[in-house]
Amino acid sequence: MKKYYSFLLIFIFSTYDVLSQGCSMCRGIVESDANSGGTGISSSINSGIVYLFTSTYVLIIIGGVFWYFRSRKFVKDQESKRKIKKRVASLLD
């Protein structure tokens, strides 16, 4: 398992410089658009960033809600099975 973790760390650190270039490019586009007095692309990029930011949290919340309701159902099922076992045990005694 440590082999996979080390591979993942090497992959992340080796691709960091390549993948981090997008942020500076977006920033440069927004700054040049804002300096020229335009509001077109800078507002579009900001809307895209907000969309990407909120979509991850919405997916996490949806996953948490599903997990919560499934765990409640699991607990109820376990409780009903325990009651049935208790009844069967009392009949056999």
| Position 56 pLDDT exceeds 80 | yes
Q: Judge whether 41 and 33 are in contact, CB under 8 Å.
A: yes
Domain ranges in the chain are 2-67
Q: Tens digits of per-residue pLDDT, 11-33?
A: 766 665 555 555 666 667 767 77
The model carries a pTM of 0.46
* Distance from C-alpha of 75 to C-alpha of 59, rounded to nearest angstrom: 24
User: If you average pLDDT over residues 29-39, what whole number do you get?
Assistant: 69
